[in-house]
Amino acid sequence: MNAQTAEEFLMEIQKKAERGELLYIGKELRRIDDLEKVLGSPIYTNDLIPRNTLYARLVLSRYPHAIIKNISVSKALNYPGVRYVLTYKDVPGLNESSTIIPDRPLFAFNKVRSTGDIVAAVIAEKPNRAQEAKELVEVEYEPLKPVFDPIEAMKPDAPKIHDDGNIVKHVKVRKGDIEKGFQEADYIIENTFRTQHQDAAPMETETAFAVPRGEKILIIGSMQTPHHVQAAVAKVLGWPIDRVEVIQAVTGGAFGPKSDEPPYDVASIAALGAIKTGKPVLMSMTREESMIAHTKRHPAIITHKTGVKANGKLTASKVQIVLDGGAYASLGVLVIVRATFHANGPYEIPNVWNDGYKVYTNNTYTGSFRGFGAPQAIFAAESQMDEIAKKLNMDPLDLRLINMLRPGSRTSTGQLMDESCGLPECLDAVVKASDYRKKKELYSKQDGKIRRGIGIAMLHHGNALGPEGNDYAYVHLSVEKNGKVHLGTGLTEFGTGAISGLAQIAASVLGVPIDYFTIDRPNTLIHHETGPTVASRVIAIGGNAARDAALKLKQKLLPVASKLINCKVEDVQIVDGYVYCKGKEHKTISWEELVKEAYEANIELNTLGYYMAPSCKWDEETGLGSPYNQYTFGAAIAEVEVDTETGLYKVLNYYVAFDVGRAINPKSVRGQIYGGTVQGLGYAMMEELVHKEGYVVNPNLKDYYIPTSLDIPEQIQTIIIEKQGSMGPFGAKIVAEPPVVLPAPAIRNAIMDAIGKGINSLPITSEKVYKAIKS
Amino acid sequence: MAYEKVEVYSPRSLAEALEILSQKKEQIKPVAGGTDVMVMLKDGALKEKELLNLSYIPELSYIKEKENHILIGATTKYREIRRSPIINAYAPILIEAVRQIGSPQIQNLGTIGGNLGTASPAGDSIPPLYVLNAKVKLQKVGSAREVHIDKFFLGPRKTVREADELITEISVDKMEPGSYYFFEKLGLRSANAISIVNAAGILSLENKTIKYLRLSLGAVAPTVIRATEAEEEAKGKELTEDLIERIAKLASEATRPISDIRGTAEYRKKATYGIVYEALYKILKGYGKKIEYGFEKIS
Ligand SMILES: Cc1cc2nc3c(=O)[nH]c(=O)nc-3n(C[C@H](O)[C@H](O)[C@H](O)COP(=O)(O)OP(=O)(O)OC[C@H]3O[C@@H](n4cnc5c(N)ncnc54)[C@H](O)[C@@H]3O)c2cc1C
């Protein structure tokens, strides 16, 4: 024990014990799964497949809207190397691949509604054979009149994409008396904002590998929610779900589409192909297939009408959000709920009238994507705030200080903010870090061709599912005889580090270092159905289940320890892998000894932790109530430099603060903030999956631009605020999604500060900036 | 059709390569770094079924001085150009452009001959070659010819190269000591971006009077162009803000851009004004880059 004496060592343990169960909370521990990733080990689905695997490629629709008159696969079937061509005729169960509303067939059969619709899949011995034979699948179409503009699509005489009208979902918020609110206002400000299709562009595309196993099928793939994939495949096969085993492989990025319907498609196609051919089948979308056929972020058209008094107090806010849903409902019917509930921004406004619509069009479909409706809603709301400030000739910071949510305020749905509302602290932190007031003053005096500007954006973000579903989770812990702890759950890791966070929570409760933990691969055969891995909810919801499982385990172990070291149960301490009796530190045994003793006493070290969030109550008609149990808050300030002769601009600095309740692992929290910021920066500055008459023009990473390291500001300063929430473990709130939301409005407002004009559509290209300057 | 099988020939000498080419002509596609050809292959845009791999021909990769010229072998990679003491000393404008091509990965593979072969109006090494009076050497079995850069391109993706010819060398003039230079590029992101507009210029000043301005513009016409009217306007005049405005205006008027997914024609025209204006304005205000033989640092 090196230079440390036994006594010093025990002192150290004692000190740690005094910090109780918070042992590893707030510690920047390494992720459990990081090493193999940074070493480039062959861990992803595509790395794992055996030699005799067959490959599938998708035949996508040639038209955005058309009747299918006939499909002939015989030519493709005869192509060398082709083993099978799947169409709707091959679906033994339900030809359906949808999450909430059953509106999307796995294989198009009577008509196609977008160019992302899957008409057939070719299964061949080599990917290139499948790719080549694709073109030999003959589909006869009779084109129908399409509609691409969601506003057009809402009109009663618009072409119908499904049997009913094109409005899939209408969400309302009605608070106070909106007309009275406008009457009380000194000014009324109206603006329209537009956002674009954004692609999630995960490094790994949608991928599934299926192996036929007698009357069962095994699926290994890249996804967020294996249990949902299991149910979807069982439905397509017409099998009971227990004949479908789904294992989530190491997943190379997800960002939302992998919680939506695309993983159902690849898994069902791989499974059908495997059953038809009797061989393992890999269905791994090419980048082009993925960018056309998977869900994207909804484009939005958002109109704001705001009433404000001359002193800056907001009196009324009326917002309409129209989301271009593309051809199918997907999880988008929930995206519009979040968008509508957050549409007015993080402000206290007495009179609110929001209408949110998710609308069918013949564009490719849109759905779940990091932020889930908040990026569009907050871009509009925060841009509107700066337009209001301009009208009042007021500093946008002051306008925010007057109206922002603080403890005691009520949100647009009337929800009371308690002490955990850390928005004022977040705003204060970024204002100080950026030296906002001084820079604002300085930049107002510029006159050259190169101008700088500074802009603010902030948000509140309802935590976890709220109105999006039952918020529960299971986490399973079991201890091997050698002391190793297995953590298993149907919640998944796809790059966030959240599952390591669960281990960190369990380790803290148990008093065992995280090195003892291994995380089992999520497997539907082994793990409980545990809800989706979405809404940033792993730590907030799953963390409670992990804590529960660890507490249950500890309850089993403490009596064993008590006997072993002859100590009262309530005095037994487990700290950093050592067990001792409070006040009698010399009687120490190791975790391994304790576990061994438990095994000998025939005590089963196997627990299932469970957590279900309190149900959220709100009124369907008015939206009023408390749709979320707790909120995350955030504020950001961007500084830009604009070249007024070309419109080219750079983001020089970005300061961002998030109230995350409690940072279980601050390094992971920062990682999420950095990553979200960069993805949000792409959304703000360059990303746009362009649709032209229903066709995706740039379905590849050479024409669809995402930020490179050179596009990232010199400085992204992150500040963590901790105002503990009521729901998450140790007060933790969610963090993974909100960072993606703030760059667009902050950058937009900074550019407005620099050039005096606001740009109300994303992405903000240099061309748009130039046009604004010269207009 | 994508993924079609292609056959690759990898000759070890220029003579051997020219021989293969003389037989196969348009049936074979030369490939140097492959940073354009491989993308075509993957997109299914390659009509040839055979590739002539030029990367094992050492005699095609070099940078040499010859009196007032620099000779650059066609398969010289961007990385080598960036590191070349000769180019740094005598044609640093090329470094300015090459630095902004793609990313380090692309610069490690991409070649200057490939940029000419692709003949994109947005190719970033091309505007500097215009202002450096480059000559492109084309060789076939038994003969060679030299074509001035402004005669080399016929349109987007079209050049005077015959199917049995290879680009073997590019020769450029050394820049005059004391002259100013710039390469400006406007893209939708800071790396790995195709230019919406680019511009290269060399400005020679005597006291405050302009001896000559050479100005070329990319991505704003079917080929890279020289802004000759702007150059004329500059000649013999004193560099002032007024003159810069006139030059930038003439440059903008010289363009014949198209609209595409990256930007509209109108914006390209206007942005040309902007980047030319600013490049010259920087020189006027003393922030311009100037060539001093022997003192240029290796970037
Ligand atoms: C991610 C990415 C980023 C890029 N960014 C840029 C950029 O910023 N700016 C830019 O200008 N370009 C860019 N490019 C395009 C490309 O890198 C350049 O055009 C490069 O110079 C091509 O060189 P290469 O050696 O790779 O050409 P190859 O792909 O090998 O060949 C290109 C063409 O030239 C022909 N060719 C090559 N050598 C010869 C020869 N000796 N004789 C006759 N014909 C020949 C080939 O037949 C082919 O038609 C980018 C490409 C990628 C993939």
Q: Given the DSSP bridges, would you call strands B50-53 and B28-31 parallel, antiparallel or unpaired? A: parallel
Number of domains in chain B: 3
| Burial grade of A354 (CB within 10 A; 0-12, 13-18, 19 or more) | buried
Question: Does residue B186 line the site of ligand 1, with CB under 6 A?
Answer: no
Give the lowest-confidence range in A283-287, A311-315, A585-589, A703-707. A585-589
The DSSP symbol for B102 reads S
Burial (CB < 10 A; 0-12, 13-18, 19+), residue A555, is exposed
| Six token digits for residue B21 | 């080419």
For residue A314, which amino acid is it? L
Give CA–CA dist B247/B231, Å, rounded: 8
Distances (CA, A) of A664 to A34, A152, A659, A725: 17, 47, 13, 13
DSSP B208: T
Average pLDDT over residues B45-53: 94
pLDDT of B296: 45
Residue B130 lies in a domain: yes
* B39 within ligand 1 shell (Cβ under 6 A): yes
DSSP A762: S
Q: Which atom of ligand 1 is nearest to the CA of B187?
A: 8
Q: How many angstroms does the Cα of residue A765 sit away from the middle of ligand 1?
A: 26
Protein residue closest via CA to atom 6 of ligand 1:
B102
**What ligand 1 atom has the least distance to the C-alpha of B115?**
21
Ligand 1: does its nearest atom lie under 6 Å from the Cβ of B37? yes
Calculate mean pLDDT across residues A544-551: 95
The CATH number assigned to the domain holding B46 equals 3.30.43.10
CATH number of domain containing B126: 3.30.465.10
Residues B79 and B46 placed together within one structural domain of the fold: no
Cα A125 to Cα A136: distance, rounded to the nearest angstrom? 16
What is the nearest CA distance from A692 to chain B, expressed in angstroms?
A: 10
User: Which ligand 1 atom minimizes the distance to the CA of B117?
Assistant: 34
Residue having the nearest C-alpha atom to atom 22 of ligand 1: B114
CB atoms within 10 A of CB B15: 12
Q: Give whole-number Cα distances, A225 to A251, A257, A266, A536, in Å.
A: 11, 11, 14, 13
Give, using CA atoms, the residue closest to atom 18 of ligand 1. Answer: B115
Which residue, by CA, sits nearest to atom 45 of ligand 1?
Answer: B117
Q: What's the Cα-to-Cα distance from A204 to each of A255, A284, A688, B274, rounded to whole Å?
A: 11, 9, 19, 40
Summarised one tens digit per residue, pLDDT across range A616-650 is 999 999 999 999 999 999 999 999 999 999 999 99
Instruction: Order across the sheet with B143-148: list the strands.
Output: B63-66, B69-73, B166-173, B135-140, B143-148
Please name every residue paired with B238 in a beta bridge, in sequence order, or none if there are none.
B209
So what's the pLDDT on residue A690? 98
Using CA atoms, how far apart are residues A400 and A89, in angstroms rounded to an integer? 58
Q: CB-based burial of residue A188 (10 Å sphere; 0-12 exposed, 13-18 middle, 19+ buried)?
A: middle
The position carrying tokens 């998977």 is A294
Q: Which of A126, A131, A451, A648 to mutate to test the interface with B (most CBs of B within 10 A)?
A: A648
Taking the centre of ligand 1 as the mean of its atom positions, its distance from the CA of residue A17, in whole angstroms, is 63
| Chain B residues touching residue A765 (CB < 8 angstroms) | 188, 263
Nearest to B58 by CA among B117, B18, B28, B14: B14
**Whether residues B157 and B85 fall in one domain:** yes
Q: Is the dihedral of CA B17, B19, B25, B28 positive or negative?
A: negative
The confidence band for A300, taking pLDDT boundaries of 50, 70 and 90, is very high
pLDDT category at B235 given cuts 50, 70, 90 is very high
The Cα–Cα gap between A430 and A30 comes to 28
CATH 3.30.70.640 describes domain A6-30+472-612: no
Q: Which among A715, A723, A714 has a CA at the least distance from the CA of A658? A: A723
A35 contact partners, CB below 8 Å, separation of at least 6? none
Contacts of A239 (CB under 8 A, 6+ apart): A93, A217
Given CB atoms, is B3 within the 8 Å cutoff of chain A?
yes
Whether B11 is in a domain gets the answer yes
ipTM for the predicted complex: 0.93
| Architecture of the domain whose range is A45-144+209-285 | Alpha-Beta Complex (3.90)
Q: Whose CA is nearest to atom 44 of ligand 1?
A: B117
Cα–Cα distance measured from residue A499 to residue A136, given in angstroms and rounded to the nearest whole number: 45
3-state helix, strand, coil in chain B (%, to 5): 35, 25, 35
The verdict on a CB contact (< 8 Å) between A690 and B191 is: no
Verify whether ligand 1 is closer than 6 Å to residue B123 (CB atom): yes
Cα–Cα distance for residue pair A59/A84, rounded to 1 Å: 13
What tens digit of pLDDT does each residue of A192-225 get? Answer: 999 999 999 999 999 999 999 999 999 999 999 9
The per-residue pLDDT of chain A, averaged, comes to: 95
Residues 42-61 of chain B with CB under 8 A from chain A are 43
- 3-state helix, strand, coil split of chain A in percent (to 5) is 35, 25, 40
- Measured between alpha carbons, how far is A524 from A528 in angstroms, rounded to an integer? 7
Same domain as B227, residue B257:
yes
In a domain, B48, yes or no: yes
The residue out of B173, B200, B221 marking a domain boundary is B173
B71 lies in the same domain as B119: yes
**Are the beta carbons of B191 and A709 separated by less than 8 Å?**
yes
Q: What is the structure's pLDDT at B4?
A: 61
Domains A6-30+472-612 and A300-466+619-774 share a fold: yes
Q: Is B261 on the interface with A (CB under 8 A)?
A: yes
Strand B166-173 relative to strand B69-73, pairing:
antiparallel
- Judge: B39–A131 Cβ closer than 8 Å, yes or no: no
B191 vs A697, A703, A710: nearest CB:
A710
A contacts of B40 (beta carbons < 8 Å): none
Confidence at residue A123, expressed as pLDDT on a 0 to 100 scale: 98
Q: Which of the four pLDDT bands, split at 50, 70 and 90, describes residue A585?
A: confident
State which residue of chain B sits closest to A450, comparing Cα positions.
B278
Nearest to A767 among B191, B264, B275 (CB): B264
B143 touches chain A (CB under 8 A): no
- Minimum CA–CA partner of A126 in chain B: B3
Q: With beta carbons less than 8 A apart as the criterion, state whether A54 and A81 touch.
A: no
Q: What is the pLDDT of residue A62?
A: 98
Which residues of A fall within a CB distance of 8 Å from B185?
none
DSSP assignment of A209-259 = EEEEETTEEEEEE--S-HHHHHHHHHHHHT--GGGEEEEEPB-S--SSGGG
Q: What is the pLDDT of residue A6?
A: 52
3-state secondary structure of A532: coil
How many Cβ atoms from other residues are within 10 Å of residue A316's Cβ? 26
Chain A residues closer than 8 Å to B6 by CB: none
Percent of chain B exceeding pLDDT 90 equals 93
A128, A647, A708 member nearest B189 (Cβ) = A708
Is pLDDT at A582 greater than 90 in this prediction?
Answer: no
Domain ranges of chain A: 6-30+472-612, 45-144+209-285, 300-466+619-774
**From atom 7 of ligand 1, which residue's Cα is the shortest distance away?**
B101
Judge if the upstream peptide bond of residue A763 is cis by omega within 30 degrees of 0. Answer: yes
C-alpha span between A346 and A350 (Å, rounded):
13
pTM given for the model: 0.96
The mean pLDDT of B99-122, rounded to a whole number, is 97
Q: Which of B118, B138, B173 is the last residue of a domain?
A: B173
Structure confidence by residue, pLDDT tens digits, B16-40: 999 999 999 999 999 999 999 999 9
Distance (Å) from the alpha carbon of B124 to chain A's nearest alpha carbon: 16
Rounded mean pLDDT, A234-257 = 97
- Residues A574-589, mean pLDDT to the nearest whole number: 86
Q: CATH number, domain at B208?
A: 3.30.390.50
What's the number of CA atoms in the CB half-sphere (13 Å) around residue A110?
A: 5
Query: How far apart are the CA of B32 and the centre of ligand 1, in A?
Result: 8
The amino acid that residue A248 corresponds to is Q
In a domain, B297, yes or no: no
- CB neighbour list of residue B43: distance below 8 Å, 6 or more residues apart: A700, B2
Q: What is the DSSP string of A128-194?
A: HHHHHHHTT-EEEEEE------HHHHTSTTSPPSSSS-SEEEEEEEEES-HHHHHHH-SEEEEEEEE
Q: Do B261 and A698 touch (CB under 8 A)?
A: yes
Strand partners, B77: B111
Q: To test the ligand 1 pocket, which listed residue (B22, B24, B27, B35) has its Cβ within 8 A of the most ligand atoms?
A: B35
Count the alpha carbons within 13 Å of A269 in the hemisphere toward its beta carbon. 33
Residue B296 domain-assigned?
Answer: no
Taking CA–CA distances from B100, the nearest residue in chain A reads: A710
Q: For residue A178, give Cα distances in angstroms to A173, A175, A337, A651.
A: 11, 7, 20, 38
Which CATH number applies to A300-466+619-774? 3.30.365.10
Q: Pick A770's closest partner by Cβ from B1, B191, B267.
A: B267
| Phi and psi angles of residue A71, each rounded to the nearest 5 degrees, phi first | -125, 125
Residue pointed to by tokens 């299914």: B44
Residues of B in contact with A648 (CB under 8 A): 186
Choose among B217, B204, B280: nearest CA to B252: B217
Q: Answer yes or no: do B197 and B260 share one domain.
A: yes
Across A22-26, B186-190, B229-233, the highest mean pLDDT is recorded for: B229-233
Counted across chains A and B, CB pairs separated by less than 8 A come out at: 74
CB atoms within 10 A of CB B155: 11
Angle between helices A766-774 and A743-755 (to 10 degrees): 30
Same domain, B147 and B206: no
Any ligand 1 atom below 6 A from CB of B40: no
Condensed to tens digits (0 to 9), the pLDDT of residues B145-180 reads 999 999 999 999 999 999 999 999 999 999 999 999
Q: How far is A764 from chain B (nearest CA, A)?
A: 10
What confidence score (pLDDT) does residue A11 get? 59
CA-CA-CA-CA dihedral for A620, A624, A629, A635, to nearest 10: 120
**Cα gap A89→B28, rounded to integer Å:** 44
Give the residue carrying structure tokens 């994109």.
Answer: B120
Distance, CA of A530 to CA of A487 (rounded, Å): 14
Q: Please, is A156 exposed, middle or buried when counting C-beta atoms within 10 Å of its C-beta (0-12, 13-18, 19+)?
A: exposed
Say if the Cβ atoms of A774 and B270 lie within 8 Å.
yes
Whether residue B276 sits in one domain with residue B203: yes
Q: Tell me: do B163 and B144 sit in the same domain.
A: yes
Indicate the DSSP class of residue A709. Answer: G
Angle value at C-alpha A572, between A569 and A573, nearest 5 degrees: 150
Measure CB to CB from residue A708 to each of B191, B263, B277 and give the nearest one: B191
Q: What percent of chain A has pLDDT over 90?
A: 94
Query: Using a 6 Å cutoff on CB, does residue B109 contact ligand 1?
Result: yes
B163 shares a domain with B184? no
- DSSP state for residue A366 in the 8-state scheme: B
Question: What contacts A588, CB < 8 A, 6 or more positions away?
Answer: A10, A13, A565, A578, A579, A580
| pLDDT band for position B43 (cuts 50, 70, 90) | confident
Q: Name the 3-class secondary structure at A76.
A: helix
Q: Report the pLDDT value the prediction gives residue A83, as an integer from 0 to 100.
A: 98
A474 min Cα distance to partner chain B (Å): 44
Q: Is the dihedral of CA A745, B198, B83, B161 positive or negative?
A: positive
Residue B271: list chain A partners with CB under 8 A.
645-647, 766-767, 770
Q: What is the DSSP letter of A448?
A: S
Residue with CA at minimum distance from ligand 1 atom 12: B123
pLDDT exceeds 60 at position B295: no
Range of the domain at B87: 58-173
Residues B163 and B193 in one domain: no
CB of B34 within 6 A of ligand 1: the answer is yes
Is B111 touching ligand 1 by the criterion CB < 6 Å? yes
Contact partners, residue A163, CB within 8 Å, separation at least 6: none
Distance, CA B120 to ligand 1 centroid (Å)? 9
Question: Which pLDDT score, from 0 to 100, does residue B297 have?
Answer: 43
Domain co-membership, B76 together with B35: no
For residue B124, which atom of ligand 1 is closest to its CA? 11
- What's residue A19's pLDDT? 52
- Predicted confidence (pLDDT) per residue in A94-151, tens digit: 999 999 999 999 999 999 999 999 999 999 999 999 999 999 999 999 999 999 999 9
